[in-house]
Amino acid sequence: MTNKKITYKPIDPEIKELVRHHGQTGEAALEVLKDLDAENRLTPATITDTARALRLPAHRVYGMATFYSMLSFEERKNILRVCDGPVCWLKRASEQSLVSSVLSAVGDNWTVERSSCLGLCDRAPAVLVNDEQAGPVTGEDAPKICEGWRGVPTDYSQPRPGEVRVMMANADKIAPDSIESAVEYGAYSGLKSALQKKQEEVLDIVEASGLQGRGGAGFPVGRKWKFVAGAKGSPKYMVCNADESEPLIFKDRVLIDTNPHQLLEGIAIGGYACGATEAWIYIRGEYEYQARLLERAILQAEAMGFLGANILGTGFSFKIHVHRGAGAYICGEETALIESLEGKRGEPRLRPPYPPSYGFRGKPTAVNNVESFAAAPHILKNGADWWKSLSNYTTPGTKMYMVLGHVKNPGLFEAPFGLTLRQIIEDFGGGMQEGSTFQFALCGGAAGTIVNGSLLDVPIDYASSQKGISLGAGAFLVCDQTVSPVAFLRELLHFFAVESCGKCTPCRVGTWRSAEILTRMAIGMGQPGDMAELQALSDNMLLASFCGLGQSVPIPMNSAMKNFAAAFEKAES
């Protein structure tokens, strides 16, 4: 026994103020850590003080600080993050590493880091200069980056031949920073229409439209909203998943860039239909420009009565918050996103229960993608039958597509479902580049299928994966005869290995071991039995991984080894 009295050192007043500013709850932990990191004050001592100020265990806050890739204990004056995603890799495959070029060009005042996909695939090779997005960047451009040069953003103001634009219809007219401009072209008219109807009517219209979730899974939006509306417990919440971290995908960024009020309107419609009064937009930390654009749009909408208390005098009140991530692909998985939103490491939850019954703060929550919300105002404004009339295909409405790689006209377009890969390449991508012959395409995103020419004419939708070609979020990376399928799969497994949250062994070890084998095979050092081991790893990840990340890695692995067996057999020997 001892009579020793334990005394605690006072909490740093600046940290107390940060915590107060961000809400004084555990949910504010990540935002406080990001602020400390920006001030180069992220240390064990400040983490301990943050934990004490938030009344959280220190190990929980330390766990967060070491989980998110954008946080660091090292002092950094300026940060230049160089993307090493598959599209950027493809763009500089025959050049000296862009990282090496940048390192040799910048001074001691800069910290150069590799980064997983930055969501700037249409500007590849891409970099993030502190919070500013830049690209395309070559080794010769590196000195200019430190002097303020940021490259040229892709212009989507004019539609491509054959486009059917709904969500992008006013991309050439609306000034993104002006709510007056948005209202002039119909913003919030869908919300006005919804507020004139009963909650059940809005739900019925969305369900009747056949709108499917645009994040990749294609779950019916109206059905999800009905689950939330009918779930026991209150309050109910809406969450917009803007954590667009999967390689090849950048459509949500473009939708926010061109018309942020369209997204806010869709979230408000969903909130009214589900009986929610509060929403969060979880946006990836690399999208700081888009986060600020949304925050300004929210303030504008509140000032004009489209958000906030008693919207348009109807008695419906609805608040939208913007929450920034800090670099973690896994937070695109809805339960990991909710964990992160609650001030924890972004690790997936065991399901069931699912978010519509037990989500944010343990309450019924609807989690939908940016594109899903962006479609809702148009459906409420024009009706379910109109939405169906936009397409002659079985899946109604339009979809945002991204075509990248060795095509003449890479970028983004909007069109109905049912396009074939050949149409995507020829009609919307301008055909293959001069001297390029189609060899394969990664379809759907990093977790999509790698297909050969035998699948060029299969209509693509949410069910076409059963035929071997995925839609996913709508991205297609086209590769010509110069790209090795083995080396390309290595790049995908590098991404998955880096971004695995590490919670379960099949994914943590399976992705790392697969990447190791493919690295050897890609440089001609394959060994007998490599393919068999890759297949065994794929089977284990599919059957035993905790969440969709590990379960989806086998999709590109299996399709590549099936469609390009000869290339893998040659690399093995």
Distance CA 313, CA 304 (A): 12
Q: What is the pLDDT of residues 225-283, one digit of tens each?
A: 999 999 999 999 999 999 999 999 999 999 999 999 999 999 999 999 999 999 999 99
Could you report the per-residue pLDDT of 438-474, keeping only the tens digit for each? 999 999 999 999 999 999 999 999 999 999 999 999 9
The pLDDT tens digits for 15-64 are 999 999 998 899 999 999 999 999 999 999 999 999 999 999 999 999 99
Domain of residue 470 covers 398-480
Q: What is the mean pLDDT of the chain?
A: 93
**257 and 306 fall within a common domain:** yes
* CATH assignment at residue 508: 1.20.1440.230
Residue at 277 is within a domain: yes
Identify the residue with better confidence: 92 or 505. 505
Is 72 contained in some domain?
Answer: no
pLDDT band at residue 138 under the 50/70/90 scheme: confident
Cβ within 8 Å of residue 197, ≥6 positions away = 205
What is the spatial distance between Cα 169 and Cα 127, in angstroms, rounded to a whole number? 29
Q: ∠ at Cα 487 (481, 488), nearest 5°?
A: 75
My answer on whether 287 and 374 are in the same domain is yes
Same domain, 413 and 298: no
Core vs surface per residue 8-34: b (16+ CB within 10 A) or e: eeebbeebbebbeebeeebbbbbbbbb
Please indicate, yes or no, whether residues 444 and 541 belong to a single structural domain of this protein. no
pLDDT tens, residue by residue, 113-132: 889 999 999 999 999 999 99
Q: Which of 480, 501, 524 is the last residue of a domain?
A: 480
Q: Which of 86-100, 109-123, 335-349, 501-515 has the lowest mean pLDDT?
A: 86-100
Residues in contact with 423: Cβ distance below 8 Å, sequence separation at least 6, in sequence order: none
211 and 354 within one domain: yes
Secondary structure (DSSP) of 255-315: HHHH-HHHHHHHHHHHHHHHT--EEEEEE-TT-HHHHHHHHHHHHHHHHTTSSBSSGGGSS
Structural contact between residues 282 and 294, judged by C-beta atoms closer than 8 angstroms: no
Q: What is the CA radius of gyration of the chain?
A: 24
Q: Is residue 422 part of a domain?
A: yes
- One domain for residues 463 and 370: no
Q: Residue 99: pLDDT above 70? A: no
List pLDDT tens digits, range 523-567.
999 999 999 999 999 999 999 999 888 899 999 999 999 999 999
Distance CA 241, CA 372 (A): 10
Q: Which residues pair with 114 in a beta bridge?
A: 82
CA–CA separation, 444 and 497 (whole Å): 19
Of 459, 448, 454, which is closest to residue 496 (Cα–Cα)?
Answer: 448
**Percentage with pLDDT > 90 across the chain:** 85
Residue 8 pLDDT > 90:
no
* Residues 231 and 108 occupy one common structural domain: no
The tokens for 519 are 């690295």
Residue 158 belongs to a domain: no
Token digits for 291?
């986060």
Please, are residues 403 and 413 in contact by the beta-carbon 8 Å criterion? yes
Q: Which of 425, 450, 480 is the last residue of a domain?
A: 480
Residues 420 and 524 in one domain: no
Per-residue pLDDT of 54-97, as tens digits, reads 999 999 999 999 999 999 999 888 899 999 899 999 987 444 56
Which CATH number fits the domain that encloses residue 235? Answer: 3.40.50.11540
What the block records as the tokens of 18 is: 């940060």
Residues 522 and 379 in one domain: no
- Residue 409 lies inside a defined structural domain of this protein: yes
As for how many domains the chain has, the answer is: 5
Please list, in sequence order, all residues whose beta carbon lies within 8 angstroms of the beta carbon of residue 460, skipping any fewer than 6 positions away.
417, 418, 419, 420, 421, 424, 443, 469, 470, 471
CATH number, domain containing residue 468: 3.10.20.600
The reported pTM is 0.95
Residue 132: which CATH number? 3.40.30.10
> Would residue 167 count as lying in a domain?
no
Identify any residues that bridge with 366 across adjacent strands, giving them in sequence order: 238
Question: Do the bridges between strand 127-129 and strand 78-83 make them parallel or antiparallel, or are there none, so unpaired?
Answer: antiparallel
Six token digits for residue 3: 């009579």
159 falls within a domain: no
End position of a domain, from candidates 465, 480, 495: 480
Asked whether residue 454 falls in the same domain as residue 498, the answer is no
- Tell me, yes or no, whether 120 and 205 share the same domain: no
Do 40 and 102 fall within a single domain? no
| pLDDT value of residue 107 | 67
**7: in domain:** no
